[in-house]
């Protein structure tokens, strides 16, 4: 039975047997396939499938073109923004450089001013120290003079006390009162 099935399968419609005979015959599969293909193409043209496909492709091409135009516009906008930011960054850098230069100039000026202020302060302190020294010297001289006067008065008092009698003291007192009276009137 197996052999019979194999023999039947080999003798059944094979491509070699289907293409035998005249071409324009309904038994020739090549002719049938060609006619079906032509009929299929005619149906496609009847329902205007190529124009529909062309329209869809045109729409797709227009969509792609609009996306490309939008991408180009976005790219140009991005380049403009980038150029703007680069320009701003350059301006900020220049401003920072100016600020640093100005700060350096101000620091130099402040250092010079501090130097002048320090010199003036030193001069004032030296003058104050010289004044204190002069004052201390004058105070020391006055103190020595006062001490000398005190010693001289004490010595004079001791000398006068030894050499003066009560009568001489009364005469001196009367003379001092007369002198004061003469000067007051």
> DSSP of 41-81, one letter per residue?
HHHHHHTTHHHHHHHHHHHHHHHHHHHHHHHHHHHHHHHHH
DSSP 12: S
Residue linked to tokens 């700060």? 103
Taking a C-beta distance cutoff of 8 angstroms, is the pair 120, 112 a contact?
no
Which band of pLDDT confidence, cut at 50, 70 and 90, is reported for residue 25? confident
* More confident: 17 or 63: 63
Quick one: pLDDT at residue 53?
Answer: 92
The string of pLDDT tens digits covering residues 74-106 is 999 999 999 999 999 999 999 999 999 999 999
* Contacts (Cβ under 8 Å, ≥6 apart) of 172: 164
b/e code 145-159 from CB counts within 10 Å (16+ = b):
eeeeeeeeeeeeeee
pTM of the shown model: 0.39
Q: Residue 155 pLDDT more than 70?
A: yes
């Amino acid at each position: 039975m197996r052999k019979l099935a194999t023999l039947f399968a080999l003798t059944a419609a094979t491509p070699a047997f289907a293409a035998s005979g005249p071409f324009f015959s309904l038994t020739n599969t090549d002719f049938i396939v060609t006619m079906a293909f032509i009929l299929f193409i005619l149906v496609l043209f009847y329902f205007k499938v190529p124009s529909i496909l062309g329209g869809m492709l045109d729409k797709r091409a227009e969509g792609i073109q609009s996306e490309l135009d939008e991408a180009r516009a976005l790219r140009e906008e991005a380049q403009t923004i980038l150029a703007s930011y680069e320009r701003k960054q350059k301006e900020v850098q220049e401003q920072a450089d100016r600020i640093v230069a100005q700060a350096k100039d101000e620091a130099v000026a402040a250092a010079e001013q501090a130097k002048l202020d320090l010199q003036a302060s030193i001069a004032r302190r030296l003058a104050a120290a010289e004044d204190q020294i002069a004052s201390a010297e004058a105070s020391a001289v006055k103190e020595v003079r006062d001490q000398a006067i005190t010693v001289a008065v004490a010595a004079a008092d001791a000398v006068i006390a030894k050499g003066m009698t009560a009568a001489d003291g009364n005469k001196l007192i009367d003379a001092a009162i007369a002198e004061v009276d003469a000067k007051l009137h």
